[in-house]
Structure 1
Amino acid sequence: MVTVKYMLLIYSNAESWAGLSAEQREGLGRSHQELTRELTEHGLLVSAAGLADPITTRTVSVRDDGLTTTDGPYAEAKEHLAGFYLVECETIDEAIGYAARMPDAQYLAVEVRPVMEMSGLEM
C-alpha cells in the first residue's frame, strides 16, 4: 500500500497552557516522548518539533516588490500553532488515530492535513 505524509498540527493558547498544573505539563511531555518513540519504532515519523512562542513570529508579505514584515502570527486568534509531527501513514484514519493520542487534543486541537507532493495531483 502507498503511504501518504500527513502533518499533525498541534494548536495551543496561552490560557490553556497556563491552566495546566506542573504535573499535567510533565504528563504532556511524557506522552509526546512515548508517541514519538512509537512512531519512530514503526518507521512512521518523518519529523517532529515544537515551535517557539508566537511572540517570536514574523509574518512576511511581498506586495508590488515591497517586503513587509509584521510581528506575530498572521491570524488574529488566541490559538497558535505550537508544534507538529510529520508522519507517513497508509490512511488518513491512521493519522487521525495518532493525532487523537496526542495529549494536546484533550486541551485544544490537533489538525490532520495531507501533505501534497510537488505535483499536487494526488489530492
Structure 2
Amino acid sequence: MKFLLTLHMNPALWATLTDDQKNAVYEGHGAFIKLITESGEMVETKALAEPGDTKTVRVENGVARTTNGGFVESEAFLCGYYVVDVESEARAVELAAKIPDAQYTAVEVRKVVHEG
C-alpha cells in the first residue's frame, strides 16, 4: 500500500530555529532515507522549490493565464514529499512521525489511490 507523506515549510517558524536545530533536521532526513531504503519501503522523495520560484497556471475562457507564486495564499508551503510502500496506514503514520520536520510542523499522510 503506497502513501504520500507531505512536508510543509513555514519560513517564519524555520527562522526561529537555531543552526543546530536546522542541521538536525537535515541530518534527520539522511537517517530517515537510510531507514526506509534499508527496510525496502522507499519509493521516492523530492524536495521542492520555494513558492517564489513557482508558476501557477489557470485556464479562463480557454486562455491560459500564468502567475508567479504558489496556488495557496499561506505562510506555509509544500516543500517536499516521500512516497512509501508499506503494509498498513499505521506503518505510514509511524514513519511520518520519524520525519524530523514533524517536531516543528505537521506531516500529512495520504493514501495513493491511483498511479499512472
TM-score range, shorter chain: over 0.9
Of the three residues 65, 83, 88, the one matched with 1:86 is 83
Query: Does 2:115 correspond to 1:108?
Result: no
Q: Given the two structures, how large is their TM-score scaled by the length of structure 2?
A: 0.94
Match of 1:23 among 20, 25, 32: 20
* Partner residue in 2 for 1:45: 42
Which residue of structure 2 aligns with residue 77 of structure 1? 74
For residues 36-87 of structure 1, the C-alpha deviation after alignment (integer angstroms, 9 at most, x for no partner) is: 0110111111101211111101111122221011111111111100110011
Find runs of 4+ consecutive structure 1 residues off by over 6 angstroms: none
Match of 2:98, as an amino acid? R
User: What is the Cα deviation at residue 109 of structure 1?
Assistant: 1.0
Provide the rounded CA distance (Å) in 1 between the counterparts of 2:48 and 2:115.
25
Q: Name the aligned partner's letter for residue 84 of structure 1.
A: Y
Identity, % of aligned positions: 36
Instruction: Give the whole-Å Cα distance in 2 for the aligned partners of 1:70 and 1:6.
Output: 30
**When the two structures are aligned, how many residues end up with a matched partner?**
116
Runs (5+) with no aligned partner, structure 1: none
Output the TM-score relative to the length of structure 1.
Answer: 0.89
In the alignment, the residues of structure 1 paired with residue 44 and residue 51 of structure 2 have an alpha-carbon distance, to the nearest angstrom, of 21
Correspondence for 1:67: 64
